[in-house]
Amino acid sequence: MSQSFKIPFARVDCSGKEAQYLAEVLSSGWLTTASKAKKFENRFIELIGCKHALAVNSCTSGLHLALDALDVKRGDKVFVPSFTFTASAEVIRYMGADPVVLDVDYATSSLSAQIVADAIARHPDVKVLVGVHFGGMALPMTGDFGILQICKKAGVKVVEDAAHALPSRLDGRAVGSFGDVTCFSFYANKTMTTGEGGMITTDDDGIAERIRCMRLHGIDRDIWDRFTNNTSTPSWEYDVVAPGFKYNMPDLNAAVGLAQLERIFEMHEKRVACASLYFELLGNIEDVELPFQPPNMTDHAWHLFPIRLRPSTNLTRNGMIENLNEVGIGTSVHYKPIHRLKYYRERYDLIPTDFPVSESIWQRTLSLPIYNLLTEKEQIFICQSIKLAIEEKKVP
Ligand SMILES: *Cc1c(COP(=O)(O)O)cnc(C)c1O
Q: What is the pLDDT of residues 119-133, one digit of tens each?
A: 999 999 999 999 999
Asked if residue 191 has its Cβ within 6 Å of ligand 1, the reply is no
Give the pLDDT confidence score for residue 226 in this predicted structure. Answer: 61
Cα-Cα-Cα-Cα torsion 359, 316, 331, 56, nearest 10 degrees, comes to 10
Give the pLDDT confidence score for residue 67 in this predicted structure. Answer: 98
Please tell me the distance between residue 313's alpha carbon and the centre of ligand 1 in angstroms.
31
Give the pLDDT confidence score for residue 25 in this predicted structure. Answer: 97
Give the pLDDT confidence score for residue 314 in this predicted structure. Answer: 86
Low-confidence winner among 3-7, 146-150, 189-193 (lowest mean pLDDT): 3-7
> What is the position in ligand 1's atom list of the atom closest to the CA of 88?
11
| Residue 394 pLDDT grade (very low, low, confident, very high; cuts 50, 70, 90) | low
Question: CA angle, 43 as apex, 248 and 92 as ends, to 5°?
Answer: 40
* Residue 235 pLDDT greater than 90, yes or no: no
Average pLDDT over residues 111-122: 98
- Percent of the chain's residues with pLDDT above 70: 95
Give the pLDDT confidence score for residue 237 in this predicted structure. Answer: 80
Question: For residue 105, which of 358, 352, 343, 284 has the smallest C-alpha distance?
Answer: 358
The per-type count for the chain, helices as H runs and strands as E runs, is 14, 12
User: DSSP per residue over 190-213, as a string?
Assistant: SSS--BS-EEEEES-HHHHHHHHH
Cα-only R_g, the chain = 22
- What are 35-92's pLDDT values in tens digits? 999 999 999 999 999 999 999 999 999 999 999 999 999 999 999 999 999 999 999 9
Catalytic residues: 190
Give the pLDDT confidence score for residue 1 in this predicted structure. Answer: 45
Indicate the top mutation candidate among 9, 57, 59, 184 to test ligand 1's pocket, ranked by most ligand atoms within 8 A of CB.
59
Query: 233 with 203: CB under 8 angstroms?
Result: no
* Residue 279 pLDDT greater than 60, yes or no: yes
Give the pLDDT confidence score for residue 12 in this predicted structure. Answer: 97
Query: 284 with 352: CB under 8 angstroms?
Result: no
Residue with the smallest CA separation from ligand 1 atom 2 is: 163
| Residue 238 pLDDT grade (very low, low, confident, very high; cuts 50, 70, 90) | confident
* Residue 222 pLDDT greater than 70, yes or no: no
* Residue 97 pLDDT greater than 50, yes or no: yes
Give the pLDDT confidence score for residue 101 in this predicted structure. Answer: 98
What's the CA gap between 55 and 132, in Å, rounded? 19
Top pLDDT among 15 and 227 is at 15
Q: List 184's β-bridge partners, or say none.
A: 199
Q: List 102's β-bridge partners, or say none.
A: 81
> What is the position in ligand 1's atom list of the atom closest to the CA of 185?
7
Asked if residue 185 has its Cβ within 6 Å of ligand 1, the reply is yes
Asked if residue 87 has its Cβ within 6 Å of ligand 1, the reply is yes
Asked if residue 161 has its Cβ within 6 Å of ligand 1, the reply is yes
| Residue 220 pLDDT grade (very low, low, confident, very high; cuts 50, 70, 90) | confident
Three-class DSSP category at 95: coil
- What are 2-33's pLDDT values in tens digits? 447 899 999 999 999 999 999 999 999 999 99
Average pLDDT over residues 362-388: 97
**Percent helix, strand and coil across the chain, each rounded to 5?**
40, 15, 45
Give the pLDDT confidence score for residue 223 in this predicted structure. Answer: 59
